[in-house]
Structure 1
Amino acid sequence: MATSIIRKGKGVRLREVSDVKLDKIKIGLGWELRKGGHLDLDASVFLLGEDGKLPSDEYFVFYNNLESPDGMVKHKGDNRVGDAEGDDEEILLNLPYISPSVKELVFVVSIYDAQNRRHNFGNLEEAYIRVVNLKDSKEILNFDLDADYGDDTEVEFAKMRREDDGWRFIPTGVGSKIGLQGYVDKYIPEL
């Protein structure tokens, strides 16, 4: 089956885009810098419960917490210069075994120390997020992001929502200037 190219906001059920059952997948994030640019981008994933909040801090997977409590969502580590061949950062998921209390995954890419360094997504080009079936290494979905985020310092690239019959991948492409801490604050439960 060929790669499905999807547009912002158009969700797709993962089971509908593959000839085989998608259990273990990779979310690959890639980007290129405009000439003379230098940015440290960081991929993160928030594992949210029914209430749209983190069940606990450990459900925020990023460069300082590389694995979810159930071990089913793993960040492959920080790439500080974005010069990798292919995907610059990767998040691995074992979908059937993600804790049943997790109802949604939110994928965010932020620029490290953006305010102090005066960096923004306007310095990027050819940014993308893709879904790869780890069983056969085939790309299933690809969502191209261009550098239309101007002064934004973070982009929520996509969400995955748990449904009765599997997971739905939804590219969102929402830029912001709230910082990674702003996302953390958004998803921490009220006391």
Structure 2
Amino acid sequence: MSLADSPAAAGVPARGRPRSEAVERAVIEGVMKLLEDGVPLAELSIERIARTAGVGKATIYRRWSGKEELFVEVVRAAEPPDPELPGTSMRDDLVAMLEQLRQRGVMSRSSVLLHNVFAQMKSSPKVWAAYHASVVGPRRRIQIEVLRRGQENGELRADVDVELVNDLIVGPMLLRSVMRPHADLESDLSEGLSERIVDTLLEGLRPVSSPSA
């Protein structure tokens, strides 16, 4: 077959990518199965994961640098997706991000897998550091950027520390999710919780209009 007659030249998509996605899904599901079966994080070797997923170790190493990166992707696959920000205002973007955090808290409580993985991750410094670097850090940077944009648009006082403000906004939801395991996050009473947190804090952080002369 000549080059001109090849599938790529004819505009036919290559088969490699769909097969790759199927392999990645099989590996992630394999890790989830082992964790659901009660295998501790520390005992999950790449060899055992490969055997469970029905792939070779080299296949896993071509996609992930090691267990830490793979585990982070497994957690991300089990969590709710990052929100698509409305972009209409700082307030609306903050509500969207806080709502994702609330949903994540609900899932962490209802999912034995997520609950166990988070508990085990904290005892594994390398995995915890990888999770912070690839998940927590990027999310926080987006939150800070939303607040800085709010300052530029006059939605937030220019004299406040955006790093501190971000902690003040995220803190109450994390408190209810982690430190108060029986706090309401999913009933009708919790609807609008993200809006109430954001609006309560912004009430004292919006620029104060100068009194008219």
Mark yes or no: TM-score above 0.5: no
Higher RCO by CA contacts (8 Å cutoff, separation 6 or greater): 1
- Normalization by structure 2: what TM-score? 0.24
- Normalization by structure 1: what TM-score? 0.26
Task: Identify, as 1 or 2, the structure richer in helix.
Answer: 2
Larger Rg: 2
Task: Identify, as 1 or 2, the structure richer in strand.
Answer: 1
